[in-house]
Homo-oligomer: A and B are copies of this chain.
Amino acid sequence: MRKKRAQEPGKTQAGKVTLGMVAAASGVSPSTVSRILNGSAVVSQEKREAIDRAIADLGFVPDPIARGLAGGRTLSIGVITQAIDSPFYGVALRAIEEELTRLGYSALFVSGNWDANDEARCVDLLRARRVDGMIVLNGRLGDQALARLAGEMPVVFTGRQVSGANIYAFDFDHFEGARIATEHLLSLGHRRIAFIAGDPIHSDSIERLRGYRAALEDARVTYEPALVMQGNYQEASGLAACTRLLDSGAPFTAIFAANDQMAFGAAVALYRKGLRVPDDVSLVGVDNLPAAEHAIPPLSTVHQGAHELGRLAALSLLQLLAGKVPTDTLPAPRLVVRDSTRAVGR
């Protein structure tokens, strides 16, 4: 058991089966073995079989590090998420990992922490690791930096609409999601519907506010700024926003929170004031987090398929890598009615 990992130059790791050994065992050159591995040339049936046998016999596994250095590919994909422990993105990361692993790639996850500088550092780190491509989830990268990056490798971007060669971007229809959530409340007879908004630095926050207003307008309900409170997508901000709302004295019968996390926070504020959901106020969120189903009461919300998001991101990047142009998009948001919403005054 040697702790030292140092090795003399040229000394092969003990027990390591190399491509050269496969070549020797099957009586061909390393080049030929390499070509079989990569499918980069037609090889005679006979040699192919000999090589396959040797690979199986020796238990050869190609070394991704060496492949990376020699071939310029590492079979690894950089994934920049804002926080690896986000309840929403966690599900997406899971899906990305599943798809990538299934297709022989590895994912390198790094957290951008909703900070442009951190994100730039993530890009540098990933670049140094020679990832074959990057997936940026809801990043803050500027258009310039993004274009530069796409000049080096394919990039998939979520949460923003950008286009260009080597780039694929897609997003949920945040406007529509917010619209149907609000419409749901309106259809239950609510007229005084408060809105807890997300951080306006994100375009999705703006879209959701627009969706809320559009639904109101469609129902000829006057938009009331006093019913809109600012949050930042975190639970605590939902709690604070709802508390401010309550303290303001403005009457309302329902709350639409721009995401489930803020809805959970709002529920706590209501609970603290002795108000019950949905008896006293109806509450609806967006995201359909795994936790929404097991909240008290189970939360009505708009399903945004995080799993779909991750899957689509991984698949489109692989298409880009293969020189194809992805075209798939995310499914439309859909309302999930649970127990937190009820007809007004019932």
* Docked CA distance A124–B61 (Å): 10
Q: Nearest-CB distance from A93 to chain B (Å)?
A: 5
Expressed in whole angstroms, the minimum distance between the Cβ of A150 and any Cβ of chain B is 8
* A291 proximity list for chain B (CB < 8 A): 87, 235, 264, 291
Is A219 located at the chain interface by the 8 A CB criterion? no
Q: Which residues of B contact A74 (CB under 8 A)?
A: 65
Within 8 Å CB of A268, what residues of B?
294, 296, 298
Q: Distance (Å) between the CB of A244 and the closest chain B CB?
A: 17
Size bin of chain A's contact surface: 35 or more
Q: Please tell me if the beta carbons of A109 and B107 are within 8 angstroms of each other in the complex.
A: yes
Minimum CB distance partner of A236 in chain B: B294
Of B61, B97, B295, the contact of A295 (CB 8 Å cutoff): B295
- Assuming the A-B contacts A97-B84, A132-B5, are A296 and B323 also in contact, with contact meaning beta carbons closer than 8 angstroms in the complex? no
**Counting CB contacts under 8 A, is A129 at the interface?**
yes
Q: Is A53 interfacial (CB-CB < 8 Å)? A: no
A109–B6 alpha-carbon span in the complex (Å):
25
Q: Tell me the bound Cα distance from A142 to B265 in angstroms.
A: 42
* B residues near A6, Cβ cutoff 8 Å: 71-72
Alpha-carbon distance A259/B146, docked complex (angstroms): 43
Asked if A3 and B84 sit within 8 Å, CB to CB, the answer is no
Contact of A1 among B69, B128, B165 (CB under 8 A): B165
Contact of A265 among B3, B110, B294 (CB under 8 A): B294
Chain B proximity mask over A77-109: 1 for CB below 8 Å, otherwise 0: 000000111110011011001000100001111
Q: Across the interface, do A68 and B70 meet the contact criterion of CB distance under 8 Å?
A: no
Return chain B residues, CB-CB under 8 Å to A125: 101, 106
Complex partner residue of A72 from B13, B83, B165, CB under 8 angstroms = B13
Q: Binary interface profile of A, 246-282, with partner B (CB < 8 Å = 1, else 0)?
A: 0000000000000000001101100100000100000
A156 to chain B, nearest CB (A): 15
- Chain B residues, CB < 8 A from A294: 235, 239, 264-265, 267-268
CA distance A13 to B5 in the complex (A): 29
B63:A130 contact, CB within 8 angstroms: yes
Residues of A whose CB lies within 8 Å of any CB of B are 1, 3, 5-7, 9, 13, 61-66, 68-74, 76, 83-87, 90-91, 93-94, 97, 101, 106-111, 124-125, 128-130, 132, 150-151, 153-154, 165-166, 235, 239, 264-265, 267-268, 271, 277, 290-291, 293-298, 323
